[in-house]
Amino acid sequence: MDDMVDLQSMGKRARQASRQLAQLPSTVKDRALETIADNLHNRQDELLRANGKDITTGQNTGLPDNILGRLLLDSTKLESIADDIRRIAALPDPTGENYDIRTLPNGLEISRRRTPLGVIGVIYESRPNVTIDISALCLKSGNAAILRGGKEAINSNKALAAVVRDSIFSAGIPRDAVQFIESPDRTLVSKMLKLSGYIDLMIPRGGAELVRHVAEEATMPAVTGGIGVCHTYVDRTANEDMAVEIAYNAKTSSPYVCNALDTLLIHTDVAPTLLPKIASRLGASNVTLNCDSRALSILGLNSSLIKAATDLDWGHEYLSLTAAIKIVDSLDDALDHINTYGSGHTDVIVTEDHTSATRFLDIVDSSVVMVNASSRFNDGAQFGLGAEVAISTNKTHARGPMGLQELTSYKWIVVGEGQVRN
Amino acid sequence: MDDMVDLQSMGKRARQASRQLAQLPSTVKDRALETIADNLHNRQDELLRANGKDITTGQNTGLPDNILGRLLLDSTKLESIADDIRRIAALPDPTGENYDIRTLPNGLEISRRRTPLGVIGVIYESRPNVTIDISALCLKSGNAAILRGGKEAINSNKALAAVVRDSIFSAGIPRDAVQFIESPDRTLVSKMLKLSGYIDLMIPRGGAELVRHVAEEATMPAVTGGIGVCHTYVDRTANEDMAVEIAYNAKTSSPYVCNALDTLLIHTDVAPTLLPKIASRLGASNVTLNCDSRALSILGLNSSLIKAATDLDWGHEYLSLTAAIKIVDSLDDALDHINTYGSGHTDVIVTEDHTSATRFLDIVDSSVVMVNASSRFNDGAQFGLGAEVAISTNKTHARGPMGLQELTSYKWIVVGEGQVRN
ipTM over 0.90: yes
Quote the pLDDT of residue A94: 96
Rounded distance between C-alpha atoms, residue B411 and residue A366, angstroms:
7
Q: Please give the average per-residue pLDDT across A253-266, as a whole number.
A: 96
Q: Please give the average per-residue pLDDT across B37-59, as a whole number.
A: 97
Task: Give the model confidence (pLDDT) of B300-346 as tens digits.
Answer: 988 999 999 999 999 999 999 999 999 999 999 999 999 999 999 99
Contact status of A281 with chain B (Cβ, < 8 Å): no
Minimal Cβ distance to A421: which of B221, B382, B396: B382
DSSP B122-191: EEE-S-THHHHHHHHHHHHTT-EEEEE--GGGHHHHHHHHHHHHHHHHHTTS-GGGEEE-----THHHHH
Q: Do B369 and A412 touch (CB under 8 A)?
A: yes
Contact status of A189 with chain B (Cβ, < 8 Å): no
A55 CA: distance to closest CA in chain B (Å): 31
Task: Give the model confidence (pLDDT) of B132-173 as tens digits.
Answer: 999 999 999 999 999 999 999 999 999 999 999 999 999 999
- A199: nearest Cα among A215, A224, A219, A180: A219
The CATH homologous superfamily for domain B230-382 is Aldehyde Dehydrogenase; Chain A, domain 2 (3.40.309.10)
- A-B CB pairs within 8 A amount to 195
Contact status of A421 with chain B (Cβ, < 8 Å): yes
Quote the pLDDT of residue A1: 45
Q: Do A397 and B221 touch (CB under 8 A)?
A: yes
Which of the four pLDDT bands, split at 50, 70 and 90, describes residue B5? Answer: low
Quote the pLDDT of residue A5: 53
Q: Do B414 and A369 touch (CB under 8 A)?
A: yes
Quote the pLDDT of residue A183: 87
Minimal Cβ distance to A249: which of B246, B394, B421: B421
Q: What is the SS3 assignment for chain A?
A: CCHHHHHHHHHHHHHHHHHHHHCCCHHHHHHHHHHHHHHHHHCHHHHHHHHHHHHHHHHHCCCCHHHHHHHCCCHHHHHHHHHHHHHHHHCCCCCCCEEEEEECCCCCEEEEEEEECCEEEEEECCCCHHHHHHHHHHHHCCCEEEEECCHHHHHHHHHHHHHHHHHHHHCCCCHHHEEECCCCCCHHHHHHCCCCCCCCEEEEECCHHHHHHHHHHCCCCECCECCCCEEEEECCCCCHHHHHHHHHHHHHCCCCCCCCEEEEEEECCCHHHHHHHHHHHHHCCCCEEEECHHHHHHHCCCCCCEEECCHHHCCCCCCCCEEEEEEECCHHHHHHHHHHHCCCCEEEEECCCHHHHHHHHHHCCCCEEEEEECHHHCCCCCCCCCCCCEEECCCCCCCEEECCHHHEEEEEEEEEEEECCC
Rounded distance between C-alpha atoms, residue A306 and residue A291, angstroms:
7
A404 CA: distance to closest CA in chain B (Å): 14
Contact status of B373 with chain A (Cβ, < 8 Å): yes
B165 CA: distance to closest CA in chain A (Å): 24
Minimal Cβ distance to A396: which of B117, B363, B378: B117
* pLDDT at residue A209 tops 60: yes
B197 CA: distance to closest CA in chain A (Å): 11
Where are chain B's structural domains?
A: 3-223+400-414, 230-382
* pLDDT at residue B296 tops 70: yes
pTM of this structure: 0.93
Mean of the per-residue pLDDT values of chain B: 95
Contacts of A368 in chain B (CB under 8 A): 411-412, 414
Contact status of B381 with chain A (Cβ, < 8 Å): no
Rounded distance between C-alpha atoms, residue A408 and residue B208, angstroms:
26
Which of the four pLDDT bands, split at 50, 70 and 90, describes residue A2? Answer: very low
Query: What is the CATH T-level fold of the domain A3-223+400-414, as seen in this structure?
Result: Aldehyde Dehydrogenase; Chain A, domain 1 (3.40.605)
Share of chain A above pLDDT 90, in %: 90
* pLDDT at residue A3 tops 60: no
Quote the pLDDT of residue B302: 83
Q: Do B421 and A246 touch (CB under 8 A)?
A: no
Quote the pLDDT of residue B52: 97
A409-418, B3-12, B179-188, B208-217: which is most confident: A409-418
Rounded distance between C-alpha atoms, residue A312 and residue A229, angstroms:
13
Q: Do B420 and A253 touch (CB under 8 A)?
A: yes
Which of the four pLDDT bands, split at 50, 70 and 90, describes residue B1? Answer: very low
- In chain B, whose CA is at the least distance from the CA of A352? B417
Q: Do B377 and A23 touch (CB under 8 A)?
A: no
Contacts of B22 in chain A (CB under 8 A): 365
Task: Give the model confidence (pLDDT) of B335-380 as tens digits.
Answer: 999 999 999 999 999 999 999 999 999 999 999 999 999 999 999 9
* pLDDT at residue B238 tops 50: yes
Residue A388 CB contacts under 8 Å (≥ 6 apart), including other chains: A379, A380, A381, A401, A402, A403
A216 CA: distance to closest CA in chain B (Å): 6
Contact status of A141 with chain B (Cβ, < 8 Å): no
Q: Do A366 and B411 touch (CB under 8 A)?
A: yes
Task: Give the model confidence (pLDDT) of A35-67 as tens digits.
Answer: 999 999 999 999 999 999 999 999 999 999 988
Pairing of strands A109-116, A98-103: antiparallel
Half-sphere exposure of A277 (CA within 13 A, CB side): 15
* pLDDT at residue A387 tops 60: yes
Residue type, A203: I
Minimal Cβ distance to A245: which of B22, B102, B418: B418
Q: Do B245 and A369 touch (CB under 8 A)?
A: no
Which of the four pLDDT bands, split at 50, 70 and 90, describes residue B175? Answer: very high
